[in-house]
Chains A and B, each alone.
Chain A
Amino acid sequence: MSKKDSRVVVAMSGGVDSSVAAALLVRAGYDVVGMMMRLWSDDSMGGADHNRCCTPDQMRDARRIADQLGIPFYVLDSKDVFRDRVVQYFIDGHRAGFTPNPCLECNRHIRFDWLLRNALALDADYLATGHYARITKRPEGGWLLRKGLDPGKDQSYILSVMGQEQLSRTLFPVGGYPKAEVRRMAGELGLDAANRKDSQDLCFLGNSDYRDFLQLHAPDVMAPGPILSSKGEVLGEHKGLANYTIGQRKGLGLSYSEPLYVLAMNAIANALVVGTRDELGRDQFLAERVNWISGVAPTDAFRAEVKIRYRAQAKEALVQPLGSGEMRVKFDEPQRGITPGQAAVVYDGDVCLGGGVVAKLEELPVAAGAVQAG
């Protein structure tokens, strides 16, 4: 099949990365179709026009770039499925005392499922996005998801939800370039997007704060409750569990002989558990909803590097796959900030093997055990 006969739907945001991705595909000779998803935002936050992934400005930019590239451009309504799958996950996660990462859910259910299927129904052979990651063929068959070439920009963490079927139908045209080169290409192509800022916050919050959003949709997680020490002493009152995340030090409003950090959120008791910096370190956790990109869960424990937050460094660990889509991870060194709800993503060098959602921290804090013994 020549590229001319190969149709690619490219998810366009109007930003640099997806615009250059589209341009590279056009240059390579594919039959390219630009698409944007209309996502959801709460009416009280201005409605769908205020979702930061599809504001009228972004839509206009993407449309202009598609026009410049001579490709058709369509906007698909995915508000309902986005609300049901991603926004609800965010709300439910906070209700359970987690710090959820809705971007992974969006990739799992919306971008690489809903949109991919819409693209295939349009007789496309591939879906392309502007993510910084690479897909390569394994010599023995199947596909590997690898880190983006630019270490500062790698986005494989949020793509760890993908499977073989999806990888076989996906292209990441900018994954093999450094960001600076992508910016340069955008400038060279005269794409208007060259100077736009990368988006950071959750798209469906618009310009609002996530706390205002939760106040509206899950007021229970904004209800005050006790702040407890790890031994159960009441140290103060918190302002609603959703205001905190594990490892947080600022904003606790406590005076104590040493700095205190958030250790855990106990949703059932609506209690915030705090402790010293030493108590924060954990070396072991259980993850669930684990996706193995190869499609087959490894049978034996193996050594790998595990990344527990999008912006964290991957660290050496022993990974034990368990049944029913779980895995246990034991780090060589205790880690601060292992957070239920965040993804734990497993790497072998630059190959992303898969990942799961941190469910619970299992072992007593290493240092806390020492304190008790002493």
Chain B
Amino acid sequence: MTGMREVYLDYSASTPVDPRVLEAMMPYFSEVYGNSTSSHRQGRRSESAIEEARATVARILNCRPSEIVFTGCGSESDNLAIRGAAWLARRQGKAMRLITSPVEHAAVLNTVRQLADLMDIETVIAPVDGYGRVDPDRFADACREGAAVASIIYANNEVGTVNDMPSLASIARQHDVLFHSDAVQAGGQLTLDVGELGVDMLSLSAHKFYGPKGVGLLYVRDGIDLTSVSTGGGHESGLRAGTHNTAFIVGLAKALELAYAEADARLSHFHELRERLIDGVLARIAGAKLSGHPAQRLPSHASFVLPGIDANALLMHLDMNGIAASSGSACKTGNPEPAAVLLALGFSPADATCGLRLSVGAHTTAADIDYALDVLTDAASKLRALKRALAT
């Protein structure tokens, strides 16, 4: 096992912290450590770092700094947006309905489910096409009767498909429905200009764009009187109580700043390697299908359905050869369920256990892709031979 080549192709799951980000964070552990709410100079130094980070983020999102709420992660941002909007709707006597799609991240889906259970809120699932895009007409139908909030994923984590945010947001606005988007996968790769996107709320997480784990943000358009889901001190305009994690907030802003400053080079690198990967898999593995949209997808993201190849076993073979990959259906407990996202796209339950996601990043090389393709091809043929042998 020692000296084995390791190729990380799971950047959609998480990325390494950029050394420049780490460097920016370092002073905020032991040198500048004051509580940002304190009035003394140590406190003021922390506060100033946080407000500078907020301003940096606001520039990239093309919003006001006051519209940025720092949180602990993308899931927390999704919870705050949806839960906060549902409670706001109850307070305002608005329609107690939630609109979402069948291909959302669990942070959105399970929050919606819990609210439906506990608050007797009606849930409307706007359907997607065979690529995972929310159908604008059906979305408009869903918005017609009003809702507390509509939450639609910007770019899908499992199949990489990018939704038409401006169209969906404008439909929601026409029907006076608050529009939230989980943009966790889009962060660092797609535009986050909230004016252009037209969203009312948007969630991000730093570790998807070479920032640290444990920090995220929610953009909340001015004028939306969201109800707090974490009460305490008045941090983050009263929306998220808890002492600021100064170093991580600084890290988030630095990572986001670098991602958009260097976007041209990064994205063309991702795109080139991603295409090499897709071409190789489709050419070398019989029956392989690309899942998600071929063009309207995240530059770093490739995903496939490899019929007849159990995703769980495939990930084991890849890992034994040093390759980190992922699948919507595989899990550490060997109890795979067909991936809900693939089912929603119209794949059969059998195919929905055969998903594979490979995502490239800053440190991926063409040689990595070629090695991964060799290993993948070999593993696929071994697993298919095994399946044939066991069937006889």
Nearest A residue to B1 via CB reads: A31
CB pair B320 A77 closer than 8 Å: no
Dominant secondary structure at the A interface: mixed
Q: Pick the residue among A36, A114, A122 that contacts B320 (CB under 8 A).
A: A122
Determine how close the nearest CB of chain B comes to the CB of A210; give it in whole angstroms. 23
Cβ of B312 within 8 Å of any chain A Cβ, yes or no, is: yes
> Which residue, of B1, B317, B320, B334, has the highest number of chain A Cβ atoms within 10 A?
B334
Cβ of B382 within 8 Å of any chain A Cβ, yes or no, is: yes
CB pair A54 B334 closer than 8 Å: yes
Q: Pick the residue among A33, A77, A117, A122 that contacts B335 (CB under 8 A).
A: A77
Nearest A residue to B331 via CB reads: A75
User: Considering the complex, which residues of chain B in the window 317-334 have a beta carbon less than 8 Å from any beta carbon of chain A?
Assistant: 317, 319-320, 332-334
CB pair A36 B390 closer than 8 Å: no
B334 surroundings in chain A (CB, below 8 A):
36-38, 54, 74-77
Nearest A residue to B312 via CB reads: A77
CB pair B335 A121 closer than 8 Å: no
Cβ of B286 within 8 Å of any chain A Cβ, yes or no, is: no
> Which residue, of A36, A74, A114, A118, has the highest number of chain B Cβ atoms within 10 A?
A74
B320 surroundings in chain A (CB, below 8 A):
33, 72, 122-123
Cβ of B316 within 8 Å of any chain A Cβ, yes or no, is: yes
Q: Pick the residue among B1, B316, B319 that contacts A76 (CB under 8 A).
A: B316
User: Considering the complex, which residues of chain B in the window 353-392 have a beta carbon less than 8 Å from any beta carbon of chain A?
Assistant: 382-383, 385-386, 389-390
Determine how close the nearest CB of chain B comes to the CB of A82; give it in whole angstroms. 12
CB pair A121 B386 closer than 8 Å: yes
A314 surroundings in chain B (CB, below 8 A):
none
What bracket does the count of chain B residues touching chain A fall in? 10 to 19
Cβ of A56 within 8 Å of any chain B Cβ, yes or no, is: yes
Given contacts A81-B390, A117-B389, A121-B382, contact A56 B313 (CB under 8 A): no
Cβ of A352 within 8 Å of any chain B Cβ, yes or no, is: no
Cβ of B200 within 8 Å of any chain A Cβ, yes or no, is: no
Alpha-carbon distance between A63 and B333 when the two chains are bound, in angstroms = 10
Alpha-carbon distance between A56 and B334 when the two chains are bound, in angstroms = 11
Alpha-carbon distance between A123 and B390 when the two chains are bound, in angstroms = 17
Chain A 74-100 near chain B by CB (<8 Å), digits 1 or 0: 111101010000000000000000000
> Which residue, of A56, A77, A117, has the highest number of chain B Cβ atoms within 10 A?
A77
Chain A 21-61 near chain B by CB (<8 Å), digits 1 or 0: 00000000001010011100000000011000010100100
User: Considering the complex, which residues of chain A in the window 168-197 have a beta carbon less than 8 Å from any beta carbon of chain B?
Assistant: none
Given contacts A118-B386, A121-B382, A121-B383, contact A59 B333 (CB under 8 A): yes
B385 surroundings in chain A (CB, below 8 A):
121
CB pair B319 A72 closer than 8 Å: yes
Alpha-carbon distance between A213 and B156 when the two chains are bound, in angstroms = 42
Alpha-carbon distance between A260 and B332 when the two chains are bound, in angstroms = 52
Cβ of B336 within 8 Å of any chain A Cβ, yes or no, is: yes
Q: Pick the residue among B310, B319, B382, B390 that contacts A77 (CB under 8 A).
A: B310
Determine how close the nearest CB of chain A comes to the CB of B228; give it in whole angstroms. 34
CB pair B390 A114 closer than 8 Å: yes
CB pair B332 A75 closer than 8 Å: yes
CB pair B319 A38 closer than 8 Å: no
Alpha-carbon distance between A81 and B317 when the two chains are bound, in angstroms = 20
CB pair B390 A38 closer than 8 Å: no
Nearest A residue to B330 via CB reads: A77
CB pair A117 B312 closer than 8 Å: no
CB pair B333 A38 closer than 8 Å: yes
B333 surroundings in chain A (CB, below 8 A):
38, 56, 59, 75
B316 surroundings in chain A (CB, below 8 A):
74, 76, 122
Nearest B residue to A38 via CB reads: B334
CB pair A38 B335 closer than 8 Å: yes
Determine how close the nearest CB of chain B comes to the CB of A43; give it in whole angstroms. 12
User: Considering the complex, which residues of chain B in the window 132-183 have a beta carbon less than 8 Å from any beta carbon of chain A?
Assistant: none
CB pair A76 B312 closer than 8 Å: yes
Nearest B residue to A32 via CB reads: B1
User: Considering the complex, which residues of chain A in the window 106-161 have a beta carbon less than 8 Å from any beta carbon of chain B?
Assistant: 114, 117-118, 121-123
B310 surroundings in chain A (CB, below 8 A):
77
A56 surroundings in chain B (CB, below 8 A):
333
B313 surroundings in chain A (CB, below 8 A):
76-77, 118
Chain B 255-297 near chain A by CB (<8 Å), digits 1 or 0: 0000000000000000000000000000000000000000000
Determine how close the nearest CB of chain B comes to the CB of A264; give it in whole angstroms. 37
Nearest B residue to A118 via CB reads: B386
A59 surroundings in chain B (CB, below 8 A):
332-333
A/B interface sample: 15 pairs, CB < 8 A: A31-B1, A33-B320, A36-B334, A38-B333, A74-B334, A76-B334, A77-B312, A77-B313, A77-B335, A81-B390, A114-B390, A118-B313, A121-B383, A121-B385, A122-B320
Apart from A77-B313, A77-B335: 14 A-B pairs, beta carbons within 8 A: A31-B1, A38-B334, A49-B335, A54-B334, A59-B332, A74-B316, A75-B335, A76-B313, A77-B310, A77-B334, A81-B390, A117-B389, A121-B383, A122-B382
